[in-house]
Structure 1
Amino acid sequence: MGKTLLKNANVVNEGVIEELDLLLEGDYISRISKDISDADATVIDLEGKYILPGIIDDQVHFREPGLTHKGTIASESRAAVAGGITTFMEQPNTNPQTTTITKLEEKHAMAKETSYANYSFLFGGTNDNLEELKRLDKNACSGIKLFLGSSTGNMLVDDELVIESIFSNTEMVISVHCEDETTIRQNLEAYKEKYGEDIPIQYHPLIRSEEACYISSSKAISLAKKTGARLHVFHLSTGKEMDLFKNDIPLEEKKITAEVCIHHLWFSDADYLDKGTLIKWNPAVKTAQDRDILWKALLDDRIDVIATDHAPHLLSEKENPYTSAPSGGPLVQHALPAMLEKYLEGVISLEKIVEKMCHNPAKLFDLDKRGYIKEGYFADLAVVSLNDPWQVSKENIVYKCGWSPFEGNSFKARVTHTFVNGHLAYENGKLSDKRNAKRLTFNR
């Protein structure tokens, strides 16, 4: 690829914003300084723009294999790159499920051939694959995923002895979806008795309730403390759960960590009236008060990571009645612009966005030479303009499913360039056909 020299940009890294030049050579950042000159380099002047480390999304569902009418590794990684996301960790509830070492390696082989962003996959724990999990090498993938509440793919793990055995038999990060299935089923039956199959969508956060979330997450945390497991709680949605997390030690010393997703920071139950099942997620989007407490916990470091839980479905599927409309929505293309909007509103700093979307995922999953802008690190970069308004429309949506919960929304900031291992993969609305993605490696 030769050399690329990025000039005059505001570099956001490790709590500091500084105007610097970056020299990229091959896959790596070779030099960071003021006023770099190199006659052999292609020069890109980024004056007025900001360079962030490439965003690392620790939770996506790219639907391949088995559900490729919704999305593929190729289509959704392209959308991710258009949104400044250079690295993703994909979930195991595909068809077939990623619950054997063979299926895990098959997924890595697919991504090697088709992904536009760096990739790894989570290995799915089930009620009956403990022996396979014990054989899993700790560097084979980003971590373990347990569905302690049901989701797309029916991977519910509800045998408490199995859960404790999994917690006791791996050094890897165990990421969990926490909702209590018994509570949800009881709530659902009560609303079905009243409304039948077409339950009004505004009752979704009462069916998949605060109580269901808290029961499950508190149990998981208690078990992690008992076993010493390394626990990461995905997509928190309630204010009540924030009492379960601590901010009195550095991330490197935490055994129990927390994630929040874009939709739980952006939407509230007031939005169901307008958005309907387009914002049906599991866990559910809840009240504005829950959202406010999630923001507070994010900013005071009880919550460590921001992710997307990108989970595309066809619009025709989402338009089904409540009980048959799938949960999930596409988010990777618009996650960073949404967070930049919150920066421009004064809610969060650029430095904190980078901490939660770049540095912390890299630390938490022990990624090798990613998540920071440092000499010798892979040149994964997102360049953003903070004053270049645009509107989300069908014409500029990259997702295979062709829709977004942000459709019609105007953002003031946009991603202008994305570099994946030094390759300019996206520039001013145009995606490169060339791929330079790599399988993630780890320092474990």
Structure 2
Amino acid sequence: MKTKLITNANIVNEGKVFEGDVLIKGQYIEAVGKDLSSRSADVIIDAAGKYLLPGVIDDQVHFREPGLTHKGNIHSESRAAVAGGVTSFMEMPNTNPPTFTQALLEQKYVIASQNALANYSFFIGASNDNLEEVMKTDITRVCGLKIFMGSSTGNLLVDDPKVLEHFFSRFPSLIAAHCEDEGTIRRNTALYKEKYGEDVPIACHPLIRSEEACYLSSSFAVKLAKKHGTRFHILHISTAKETSLFDNSIPLEQKKITAEACVHHLWFNDADYARLGTRIKWNPAVKTAHDQQAILNAVLDDRIDVIATDHAPHTWDEKSNTYFKAPSGGPLVQHSLVAMLELYHQGKIKLEKVVQKMSHHPAILFQIEKRGFIREGYFADLVLVDLDAPWKVGRENIVAHCGWSPLEGVTFRSTVERTFVSGHLAYSLGAFDESKMGERLRFDRK
């Protein structure tokens, strides 16, 4: 097995920053310490002045395969991931066809085994009529069950209260949910259509997909989870009011109800619609500066447990439509880590907290085997960053298949130099090594 030695790095891990070396043997971290330079290695990387972090684990992405590959695919979007220091991803079931069966789920794993540069897992999706199929899920090999409790169409929207009761009472592992109240959104949509017709301004998006819509659904879901003792994870919190639903008085390992913040809700607010329009149209919507700050506060005080992207690429032509025709979502997986490091540069968050929320906590929350930390015996999922190497986001350096980003024109002070995926140097100084694909994530669950 080939060995790689990273020397003189500033290692950010488990609440500390310290100078040290990391020895990689095959897929695993062989040793972490000082003065490992006496060890022989096939490859030696001098990381003096650079920072070595555990690879980012993104618990919410939409890589569009199968069926929507004009927007992106597992290969293209996993390339964007490793270019951004994301070494593992968990992908959502709203593909075409939706991932409602074990057979369709396994088809995704086959595609990923052949095409994903990062490590991978896939959620099985809930519908109003696939409960028994969902119950066949091997929870040691699948990250969880995704329920769209709003913001969807067709059978992806689970709106039958009896069906929700069954899922929450019976599924033996983690349920993740998109929470927006569909009835509230429909009423708000009708009001704004009455006022503006089909030409509703994009600035009305957070008023249509309102705080009320988010809180009604999130609070209902939390109540349901408490009733049944469900292991429940709410995705992409977008309002200050919702942060009151979560607890920071107990360790993450003991929490039954957890929450995620997304980079776009930490980076943008409703003042940005005038400049960026439908490029920042997401569900749930980007809301006020007050909401933005409250979400960051909840990240900092551990009411919100993880930071992810909800990476959801669409073509430029699709996003360039009018309000109702432009789809929601945008590409962020390449820029999530550098965006959070920019907030570090701005004094808003510590490096240790960025690593905790993007690497340690996803691993703990999903009970991922041997990932998310720089520890001897763990998989060598690592990212080496230069905190003082500015670069500007432009179409010439965007890796995602869609070729655009809501962050175009932003200059980031930090650069991802190298990304190791299970010991393999998948990305180095702008170049990809696709000779080895990522690994299927395993979960330490009974």
> Normalising TM by the smaller chain, what interval?
over 0.9
Equivalent AA in structure 2 for residue 234 of structure 1: L
Alpha-carbon separation, structure 2, partners of 1:215 and 1:71: 33
Structure 2 residue ranges without an equivalent (≥5)? none
Q: TM-score, normalized by length of structure 1?
A: 0.99
Alpha-carbon offset, residue 35 of structure 1: 1.1
Equivalent AA in structure 1 for residue 290 of structure 2: Q
Taking the TM superposition and a 5 Å limit, the aligned residue runs for 1:251-270 are 251-270=252-271
Partner of residue 15, structure 1: 15
Secondary structure at 1:322 match in 2: coil
Alpha-carbon offset, residue 152 of structure 1: 7.1
Partner of residue 317, structure 2: 316
Partner of residue 87, structure 2: 86
Alpha-carbon offset, residue 172 of structure 1: 1.0
Secondary structure at 2:123 match in 1: strand
Secondary structure at 2:237 match in 1: coil
Partner of residue 384, structure 1: 385
Alpha-carbon separation, structure 2, partners of 1:357 and 1:58: 9
Partner of residue 76, structure 1: 77
Alpha-carbon separation, structure 1, partners of 2:398 and 2:426: 17
Partner of residue 32, structure 1: 32
Alpha-carbon separation, structure 2, partners of 1:61 and 1:239: 25
Alpha-carbon offset, residue 208 of structure 1: 0.2
Deviations 1:338-372 (A, max 9, x none): 00000011100010001100011000111000000
Instruction: Please identify, of 7-16 and 424-433, the stretch whose mean Cα deviation from structure 2 is larger.
Output: 424-433
Alpha-carbon separation, structure 1, partners of 2:154 and 2:292: 28
Maintained 8 Å contact 1:421/1:436? no
Secondary structure at 2:397 match in 1: coil
Maintained 8 Å contact 1:93/1:153? no
Secondary structure at 1:186 match in 2: helix
Partner of residue 45, structure 2: 44
2:372 equivalent to 1:371: yes
Alpha-carbon separation, structure 2, partners of 1:135 and 1:79: 32
Alpha-carbon offset, residue 435 of structure 1: 2.5
Maintained 8 Å contact 2:387/2:415? yes
Taking the TM superposition and a 5 Å limit, the aligned residue runs for 1:10-409 are 10-36=10-36, 37-151=38-152, 155-409=156-410
Alpha-carbon separation, structure 2, partners of 1:212 and 1:86: 34
Structure 1 residue ranges without an equivalent (≥5)? none
Alpha-carbon offset, residue 197 of structure 1: 1.7
Alpha-carbon separation, structure 1, partners of 2:286 and 2:154: 21
Maintained 8 Å contact 2:145/2:176? yes
Maintained 8 Å contact 1:143/1:173? yes
Give the aligned length: 444
Taking the TM superposition and a 5 Å limit, the aligned residue runs for 1:402-417 are 402-417=403-418
Equivalent AA in structure 2 for residue 159 of structure 1: D
Q: CA RMSD in A?
A: 0.9
Alpha-carbon separation, structure 2, partners of 1:152 and 1:31: 50
Alpha-carbon offset, residue 436 of structure 1: 3.2
Alpha-carbon offset, residue 414 of structure 1: 1.0
Alpha-carbon offset, residue 151 of structure 1: 3.2
CA 1:180/1:360 → structure 2, altered by over 3 Å: closer, same or farther? Answer: same
Equivalent AA in structure 1 for residue 187 of structure 2: Q
Alpha-carbon separation, structure 2, partners of 1:340 and 1:173: 29
Q: TM-score, normalized by length of structure 2?
A: 0.98
Maintained 8 Å contact 2:128/2:155? no
Maintained 8 Å contact 2:113/2:437? no
Alpha-carbon offset, residue 184 of structure 1: 0.1
Equivalent AA in structure 1 for residue 366 of structure 2: F
Aligned residues: percent identity? 61
Alpha-carbon offset, residue 153 of structure 1: 7.2
Alpha-carbon offset, residue 137 of structure 1: 1.9
CA 1:332/1:153 → structure 2, altered by over 3 Å: closer, same or farther? Answer: farther
Equivalent AA in structure 2 for residue 128 of structure 1: D
Secondary structure at 2:156 match in 1: coil
